[in-house]
A and B are shown apart, each in its own frame.
Chain A
Amino acid sequence: MSLSPIALRVGPWSLRLAPRGLLVCLGLLATGFAVSVLALSTGEVAVPVPDVVAAIFGRGSPMAELIVAELRAPRLVTGLAVGAAFGLSGAIFQSLTRNPLGSPDFIGFTAGASTGGILAVVLGGTAWQIAGGSLLGCVLSAALVYGVAHRRGVSGYRLVLVGVGAHALLLAVDSYLLTSANLHDAANAGAWLTGSLSGRGWDHAVPVALALAVLAPLCAGLSRPLRMMETGDDAAGAVGIRVERVRAAAVAAGVLLCGVATAAAGPVMFVALAAPQLARRLTRAGGVALTASALTGAVLLTAADLLAQRLIAPAQLPVGVVTAALGGVYLALLLGREHR
């Protein structure tokens, strides 16, 4: 299906909308809603949908309120926000590097967050300190990678190369920390490392949701210049984009999104890589689509978390295992179909 963009014009204002992109975003919202309803109402104790609604508005039974508002809702909100943040962060970096492998989970940013997180775990940090450690680790590793890759501006290719190197280095540091830690800490750190949403409360959900609320509008503002920059720095400069300034703002937003997402859920692999790629193929948009990537990330992560909870219930899988399997298989299918 190929529909040409439509223009919405009111007086001096006009919006350009791609019908397919719009439909895809609506579809993703609907899917996200369906997943949310399932996540809130099903589980070990089934809560009928009307009771879920009542519980959310504080008019349900104490039991339903505990299960829905205190256990399931924060986990769901964390999942939605973390997924959207990873999707957005991945889209930003894939757009900047013009390379699918330019995702934060490949160029050392998520790895930096992991190292910071593990360090906090091993040092016996609280949940807040672990979150802070991973955010700090993410920012520091990004500064390192960006600094090393910087030479008369940062080319995407060099950023990926330096990032892959930093990624390997940080994984080695992680291994060292795990082997030198005592058994209890190592087990905790190992669990954190796979990325998980289990046991996430409002104190996890609120920071990442707030960060998303602040950074998403900034990303919306950057979206048009970023799309222009996909045609090359000179081509973007020629139409009046301050390339280095946009790039710096985009890197800052992308790093923070990746950092707060990792802080909340651990380094969930693959969402940042797969979400923008899936979104682009769904929307058939040229280049990277930020909104669709964020929505895809949110749906991907929450759907994966639902599967992780229910697949071999009562046993629980870490969501990172499922995202890797789910996103990986779907992406492989798409790539296979494209290159046939």
Chain B
Amino acid sequence: MPRLTGSGLTLAYDDRVIATDLDVSVPDGSFTVIVGPNACGKSTLLRALARMLRPRAGAVHLDGAVITSLPSKEVARRLGLLPQTSIVPDGITVADLVARGRYPHQRLMRQWSRADEAAVAAAMAATDVTELADRIVDELSGGQRQRVWLAMALAQETPILLLDEPTTFLDIAHQIEVLDLCADLHEQGRTLVAVLHDLNQACRYATHLIVMRDGRIVAEGEPGSVMTPELVREVFGVRCEIIADPQTGTPLVVPGARRRVSRV
């Protein structure tokens, strides 16, 4: 059984029910990408998997145990989350922010072990922010800042890492940079789950694709077999052609020109 699964999930904010009776499992060692139209519940699902949202029914299991029954710090040593929006505290430096990712490994009397120091240095090197260590985070560019947040999540040293739209607000160069970094992390053996908007990027980087619509999982599996013109039409209401990505051979979605299948 995979380490991270959700079964019979009903997810809701207050009275607004986003999804009912949702079953999902994240294959171990996969780079799972969740895609779907706006408001399909993909971020909500990710937040539930990260225990940020308590399901109204059903449960998320981590290593066979109901995730909310485990000590929260214990979960944080196995599963990390890069939230969609985080707030930069006033006047904080890069090194200080990245170091905060070590929280679940620390105690009141063990605030800064050698392991903490090594993990922070490694995380900053992996995300290429070592030279920025003493800079104030507020003063960085969007791309640099996202790398810093990623470094903080990496410093947590979790085998499973969830990323909620890690490329939003980034230009194409920085998007590729972040996704390549994710691919590296995946190759090093981590299980990754990311919510992405761009179908072509999803197909290129994912080993396992989950396609959602209206709070339901419509299709899942290896991108090459999942991504079809019929699916794109059904899920996004967009007529398209699918060709092989000239760089990677993965599916490349080319939207039809002019005429639309349905009006939004």
Contacts and interface: CB of A to CB of B under 8 A. Distances in A.
A235 B86 contact: yes
A-B residue pairs, 3 tightest by C-beta: A286-B92, A240-B76, A234-B83
A16 B111 contact: yes
B97 A231 contact: yes
A24 B137 CA distance: 23
A5 B94 CA distance: 13
Given A13-B109, A231-B87, A234-B84, 11 more contacts: A14-B110, A14-B116, A15-B111, A98-B89, A152-B13, A227-B89, A231-B97, A239-B100, A240-B73, A286-B90, A286-B93
Nearest to B149: A235
16 contacts: A13-B109, A16-B99, A16-B111, A98-B89, A152-B13, A221-B108, A224-B103, A230-B87, A234-B86, A237-B51, A237-B52, A238-B52, A239-B104, A241-B103, A286-B96, A286-B97
A238 B80 contact: yes
A267 to B, nearest CB: 27
Interface in A1-50: 2, 4-5, 7, 9, 12-16
A56 interface: no
B47 interface: yes
B113 interface: yes
- For chain B, give the interface size range: 35 or more
A224 B112 CA distance: 13
Interface in B74-129: 74-77, 80-93, 95-97, 99-101, 103-104, 106, 108-114, 116-117
Contacts of A248: none
Interface in A272-291: 280, 284-287
A117 B86 CA distance: 40
Interface string A220-234: 010010011011111
Interface string A279-308: 010001111000000000000000000000
Nearest to B109: A13
A281 to B, nearest CB: 9
B156 A12 contact: no
A196 to B, nearest CB: 33
B91 A280 contact: yes
Given A286-B90, A286-B91, A239 B103 contact: yes
B86 A240 contact: no
B91 to A, nearest CB: 5
B14 interface: yes
A253 B116 CA distance: 30
Contacts of A59: none
A175 B77 CA distance: 55
B33 interface: no
Interface of B: 13-14, 47, 50-52, 71-77, 80-93, 95-97, 99-101, 103-104, 106, 108-114, 116-117, 134, 152-153, 156
Given A4-B95, A286-B92, A286-B93, A228 B110 contact: no
Nearest to A233: B52
A287 B251 CA distance: 45
A238 B110 CA distance: 20
A12 B80 CA distance: 25
B112 A280 contact: no
B72 to A, nearest CB: 4
A238 B81 contact: yes
A174 to B, nearest CB: 33
Nearest to A285: B91
Given A13-B110, A14-B113, A284-B91, A238 B83 contact: yes
A242 interface: yes
A241 B80 CA distance: 12
Nearest to A151: B14
Contacts of A280: 90-91
A240 B72 contact: yes
B91 A227 contact: no
A108 B109 CA distance: 37
Contact of B52 (A151, A230, A234, A287): A234
A230 B96 CA distance: 13
B108 A238 contact: no
Contacts of A2: 93, 134
B37 to A, nearest CB: 23
Nearest to A281: B91
B72 A241 contact: yes
A231 B72 CA distance: 18
- Of B73, B87, B93, B110, chain A has the most CB atoms within 10 Å of the CB of B87
A9 B114 contact: yes
Contacts of A285: 91
A231 B89 contact: yes
Nearest to B70: A240
Contacts of B87: 98, 230-232, 235
- Of A224, A231, A233, chain B has the most CB atoms within 10 Å of the CB of A231
Contacts of B86: 231-232, 234-235
A2 B94 CA distance: 13
A238 B50 contact: yes
A232 B88 CA distance: 8
